[in-house]
Amino acid sequence: MVMLSFEDARAKVIDMISSRAASDARSRVATVDIARDPASALGRILAEDVTADRNYPPFDRSIRDGYAVRAADAKDPGARLLLIGESRAGVAFDGVVSAGQCVRILTGAAVPRGANSVIMLEHTRVEGDAVVLSQGVRPGQHYVLAGAECRIGETVLTQGARLSFTEIAMAAEVGHAQLRVARRPRVAIVSTGDELVAVDQTPGPYQIRNSNSASLAAQVSLAGGEPLIEPSARDDVDDLRARIERGLDESDMLLLSGGVSVGRYDLVETVLRDMGAEFFFDAVAVRPGKPVVFGWCRGKPVFGLPGNPVSTMVTFELFAVPAIELLSGFRPQPLPFIVAKLAHPIFEKGDVAHFLPARVKWPATQAGADGTLAVVPVVEALFWEGSGDIGAVVRGNCFLLVQQSHQQLEAGEWVDVLLRRGVF
Ligand code: AMP
Ligand code: MG
């Protein structure tokens, strides 16, 4: 099978899932209740449009504490207005402001009829029953017109949106308590390897804890899926097959970690092939993560991610995230790249694109002789011991991309940086 570039491999995943599984995904919906448990909506994909139940703001709303005035009476400093009442949040003044009058107003209160401006409390003083202005006002100051934020019936959230605290606030504001959201795809996670013990066990001298099932569960959840951690599989054809069968039975998609290189105990591809799997790629020109496998088995997508912890993380981000987004009924989002200035030269070798653990910062530097500041992202690759080095990615906050076609980079060059989801 030919080795694909990471861009082509990602496009292949998107193509295959779009054509084979995404339409079923769109029809599977669930409901979240943001009146009872708003946090349960976090990260979910909206399966309907949400419209405004009334104009927002519902009335001309003051955004300051002060006085509601007629601008024509209050053009100049020193104007003196008769105070005739108060409008506060929740309780409006029900009269009319006539010439020479004003009404005390508080933030969130309705601007009374007759008034067309608000002067801030700080620019006034009270003298007996009058308010004296220390500044002139213009019409329309310090309030938001009814319906200016949105009109009744207007779409305020669109199907396919991912719900963050901002969207949850909008649904709450318009009283749309029962939100229809895409059902989260169930993603089974099977780590493989005779050396693995569970996280809460004490490893023997040559054993290690299974950290990949933990990181993958977190990544699945961040991507919008529901992780199902299966017991890990031994490097044994029968055990592996039993775990794979069970994982596929229980889920919409299967993630395997480990066992995809060329070693004699790397049995994942063999077992999948015996089960009749179809493969779309089994190597990608990317490091870490070159031996990553993507195929289809028993009607479901399957990823075989390399077992080195950083390889597992990177290949999940590059290839499995769009799969989960599509299985959630969501359009796959582009990879979260930004450009940054490289802090030091880099030389990487090999016929692959590299994703190096790195740290991006935003220092403010002096830009012009006038002392203006510019903030330019600067990225530094971190020393690492290779793709088993979890500490290196913990110290980092991103991955620096060194493209295969451009492996010798100078300090000060603009480079692509893949931000780490969940951090930014
Ligand atoms: P493999 O891809 O199976 O050849 O494994 C590559 C490296 O990753 C080996 O050093 C494994 O011990 C390590 N590894 C494999 N699976 C896991 C896992 N689930 N958690 C942590 N390390 C792992
Ligand atoms: Mg292994």
Closest ligand, as measured to the CA of 210: 1
In ligand 1, the atom with minimum distance to the C-alpha of 213 is 19
For 174-225, strand residue ranges (E) read: 178-182, 186-191, 196-197, 208-209
CA of 209 to the centre of ligand 2 (A): 13
Task: Please state, in angstroms and rounded to a whole number, the distance separating the CA atoms of residues 242 and 228.
Answer: 16
**Measuring from atom 9 of ligand 1, which residue has the nearest CA?**
308
CB count in 10 Å sphere of residue 368: 8
Over residues 399-408, the pLDDT tens digits come to: 999 999 999 9
**Measuring from atom 5 of ligand 1, which residue has the nearest CA?**
307
pLDDT band at residue 2 using 50, 70 and 90 as cut-offs:
confident
CA of 258 to the centre of ligand 1 (A): 5
Task: Please state, in angstroms and rounded to a whole number, the distance separating the CA atoms of residues 286 and 316.
Answer: 12
Give pLDDT, residue 334. 95
Give pLDDT, residue 326. 93
pLDDT of 413 higher than 90: yes
Give pLDDT, residue 369. 81
Closest ligand, as measured to the CA of 195: 1
Q: Tell me which residues have their CB within 5 A of the ion that is ligand 2.
A: 193, 258-259, 307
In ligand 1, the atom with minimum distance to the C-alpha of 307 is 2
CA of 197 to the centre of ligand 2 (A): 13
pLDDT of 205 higher than 90: yes
Q: Which domains does the chain have, with CATH numbers?
A: 6-25+183-327 (3.40.980.10), 29-56+149-182 (3.90.105.10), 61-144 (2.170.190.11), 337-419 (2.40.340.10)
pLDDT of 330 higher than 90: no
- Per-residue pLDDT averaged across 377-386, rounded? 97
Q: Within 6 Å (CB) of ligand 1, which residues are found? A: 191, 193, 195-196, 208, 210-213, 257-259, 261, 263, 306-309, 388
Task: Please state, in angstroms and rounded to a whole number, the distance separating the CA atoms of residues 171 and 157.
Answer: 8
Task: Please state, in angstroms and rounded to a whole number, the distance separating the CA atoms of residues 237 and 247.
Answer: 15
CA of 192 to the centre of ligand 2 (A): 6
In ligand 1, the atom with minimum distance to the C-alpha of 235 is 3
Tokens 């089974």 correspond to 188
pLDDT of 25 higher than 80: no
CA of 364 to the centre of ligand 1 (A): 41
Threshold 0.85, pTM exceeds: yes
Give pLDDT, residue 366. 75
pLDDT band at residue 172 using 50, 70 and 90 as cut-offs:
very high
CA of 160 to the centre of ligand 1 (A): 36
Over residues 267-321, the pLDDT tens digits come to: 999 999 999 999 999 999 999 999 999 999 999 999 999 999 999 999 999 999 9
Substitution site in 192, 194, 196, 243 for ligand 1 pocket (most atoms within 8 Å of beta carbon)? 196
- Eight-state DSSP code of residue 415: E
- Per-residue pLDDT averaged across 8-19, rounded? 97
Give pLDDT, residue 247. 98
Using DSSP bridges, classify how beta strands 66-69 and 117-120 pair: parallel, antiparallel or unpaired.
antiparallel
Closest ligand, as measured to the CA of 311: 1
CA of 312 to the centre of ligand 2 (A): 12
The β-bridge partners of 294 are 281, 303
Over residues 51-86, the pLDDT tens digits come to: 999 999 999 999 999 999 999 999 999 999 999 999
Closest ligand, as measured to the CA of 305: 1
Mean pLDDT score of the chain: 96
Torsion of CA 217, 222, 226, 227, to 10 degrees: -10
pLDDT band at residue 26 using 50, 70 and 90 as cut-offs:
confident
Phi then psi dihedrals of residue 56, to 5 deg: -130, 125
- Per-residue pLDDT averaged across 391-399, rounded? 97
Q: What percent of the chain is predicted at pLDDT more than 90?
A: 93
Task: Please state, in angstroms and rounded to a whole number, the distance separating the CA atoms of residues 304 and 193.
Answer: 13
CA of 293 to the centre of ligand 2 (A): 14
In ligand 1, the atom with minimum distance to the C-alpha of 195 is 12
Q: What percent of the chain is predicted at pLDDT more than 70?
A: 100
pLDDT of 424 higher than 90: no
Give pLDDT, residue 176. 98
CA of 401 to the centre of ligand 2 (A): 27
Over residues 350-378, the pLDDT tens digits come to: 999 999 999 999 998 877 788 888 899 99
292: left (phi over 0), alpha (psi -120 to 50) or beta: beta
Closest ligand, as measured to the CA of 388: 1
In ligand 1, the atom with minimum distance to the C-alpha of 232 is 19
In ligand 1, the atom with minimum distance to the C-alpha of 191 is 19
Report the half-sphere exposure of 191 (CA within 13 A, side-chain side): 25
For 200-299, strand residue ranges (E) read: 208-209, 226-229, 253-257, 278-281, 286-287, 293-297
Give pLDDT, residue 23. 76
